[in-house]
Amino acid sequence: MSDQSFHPPLRTLMGPGPSDVPPRVLEALGRPTIGHLDPAFVDLMDEIKGLLQYAYQTESALTMPISAPGSAGMEACFVNLVEPGDKVIVCQNGVFGGRMKENVERCGGEAVMVMDDWGKPVDPGKVDDALKAHPDASILAFVHAETSTGARSDAKTLAELARKHDCLSIVDAVTSLAGSELRVDDWGIDAIYSGTQKCLSCVPGISPVSFGERAQQRIANRSQRVQSWFLDMNLIMAYWGGSAKRAYHHTAPVNAMYALHESLLMLKEEGLENAWARHQHNHLALRAGLEAMGLNFIVDEASRLPQLNAVTIPAGADDAAVRTRLLQEHHLEIGAGLGDLAGKVWRIGLMGYASRVENITLCLGALDAVLSDMGADIKPGVALPAAEKVLAGA
């Protein structure tokens, strides 16, 4: 065991998260710690709420960061909205729909599964059929951006189906927030959660959530107490609620909130729609390079996430060896496949601050070098010129 300070190696993070954190956000993290009920921090909390409402495109007052990672945001949505005996339609087209099912069952609810192939978006037709077959269902839960596959589902259509069948919608936006179009109020989404370490390019450990009017009514009219004390919105709102008198609930991670505020400010400065466009443009350049090299995407273009690119591993390439060499020789992290896709795909992230030109050229150049050296079945030397063509607007 070492008795020395830990100094992490410098990496370029192009996996499924966390993403590269910009210097501005790291600097914010190092500012002096103050009390979590200090009037200055209370003012900051209000600013964070307003900036999160902008990021989510919602006016809901119940929009705030949970002091824990995206998984806790997921649990916050389920434990507040699902009571024992409730029937919930859960869509699964990758790893994270399975986690939704687990949450429903741990809340004492019944999960009715709508299954789609990994790499495919959720099929609205199947969802409509399930809602018709289970008129007693009270919630529809789905993943907007499936991090395990890079597939984007049609959140607007799915949320409309939930309303049509008098269900609330719970939406996983961990990988989509700030990277893909997302309009909570316009689309009628009732409850949504995300994480800070993806397209917001903040440090991991915070989960922005938002509950709309219908969800708030459900929480207020529960027949039983929320099973989780820490994630009970009735209690958290007394701390994050916005009134001058804040009730102590927990000690917020003060410095991490500085970092979140800074990352949300950067998003506001860039403009939400500009951020969406940047992710898409950079994705097209990366795609051109990867496809020229001979790597294939597993998701159809119409439902492909620009910020999470899942591509097949070419013949002759050793999955783990490639990722190890990228890390050791090029200080570059890309992601392995999960679940059904383990050993079959790489997941290349272009999230938030990591979605920039120098990362595209680093990734393509490093992949070209390592795969060529291994004798993998790719076309060497063509990836960078193909990407440059897109970046130059040719």
Structural domain boundaries enclosing 77: 22-268
Same domain membership, residue 238 and residue 96? yes
Are residues 190 and 283 located together in one domain of the fold?
no
Whether 204 and 284 share a structural domain: no
Q: Are residues 260 and 295 in the same domain?
A: no
Q: Is residue 85 part of a domain?
A: yes
* Dihedral sign, Cα of residue 286, residue 192, residue 42, residue 235: negative
Residues 28 and 175 in one domain: yes
| pLDDT at position 340 | 85
Is residue 16 situated within a structural domain? Answer: no
Locate all alpha helices (DSSP H) within 57-168, ordered by sequence.
Answer: 70-81, 95-106, 124-133, 155-164
Residue 42's CATH number:
3.40.640.10
Residues 196 and 320 in one domain: no
For 335, phi then psi, to 5°, come to -100, 150
Q: Are residues 118 and 136 in the same domain?
A: yes
Distance (Å, whole) CA 374 – CA 356: 27
Within 10 angstroms of residue 332's Cβ, the number of other Cβ atoms is 23
Q: Residue 71: inside a domain, yes or no?
A: yes
233: in domain: yes
Q: Is 15 a domain residue?
A: no
Residue 244: the pLDDT is: 58
Q: Are 176 and 144 in contact (CB under 8 A)?
A: yes
Give the residues across from 193 on adjacent strands.
172, 209
CATH number of the CATH domain containing 347: 3.90.1150.10
Q: How far apart are CA 339 and CA 336, in angstroms?
A: 10
Indicate whether 276 belongs to any domain: yes
Q: Is the domain of 221 the same as that of 81?
A: yes
Own/partner pairs for 21-26, CB < 8 Å, 24+ apart? 21/201, 21/202, 21/203, 21/259, 21/353, 22/201, 22/263, 22/266, 22/353, 24/262, 24/266, 25/201, 25/202, 25/203, 25/259, 25/262, 25/263, 25/266, 25/353, 26/259
The answer to whether residue 320 is domain-embedded is yes
Cβ–Cβ under 8 Å, residues 122 and 169? no
Longest CA span, the chain: 66
Spatial CB neighbours of 252, under 8 Å, sequence gap ≥ 6: 36, 41, 45, 67, 239
pTM assigned to the model: 0.97
The answer to whether the CB of 287 falls within 8 A of the CB of 320 is: no
To the nearest 10°, report the CA torsion of 33, 38, 44, 48: 90
C-alpha span between 361 and 200 (Å, rounded):
22
Question: For residue 100, which of 59, 147, 42, 140 has the smallest C-alpha distance?
Answer: 140
pLDDT of residue 1: 66
Dihedral over alpha carbons 290, 305, 53, 123 (to 10 degrees): 180
Residues counted in the chain = 394
Q: Are residues 334 and 382 in the same domain?
A: yes
Report the pLDDT value the prediction gives residue 247, as an integer from 0 to 100.
Answer: 81
Q: Which pLDDT belongs to residue 2?
A: 72
Residue 137 lies in a domain: yes
What's the pLDDT at 248?
Answer: 84
- Asked whether residue 34 falls in the same domain as residue 68, the answer is yes
Handedness of CA 368, 373, 375, 376 (dihedral sign): negative
Taking the CA of residue 156 as centre, how many other CA atoms within 13 Å lie in the half-sphere pointing to its CB? 6
Last residue of a domain, one of 215, 238, 268: 268
Say if residue 32 is in the same domain as residue 117. Answer: yes
The pLDDT, as a whole number, for residue 241 is 73
Number of domains within the chain = 2
Per-residue model confidence (pLDDT) at position 243: 58
Low-confidence ranges of the chain (pLDDT < 70): 1, 242-244, 394
pLDDT digits (tens, 9 = 90+) for 61-92: 999 999 999 999 999 999 999 999 999 999 99
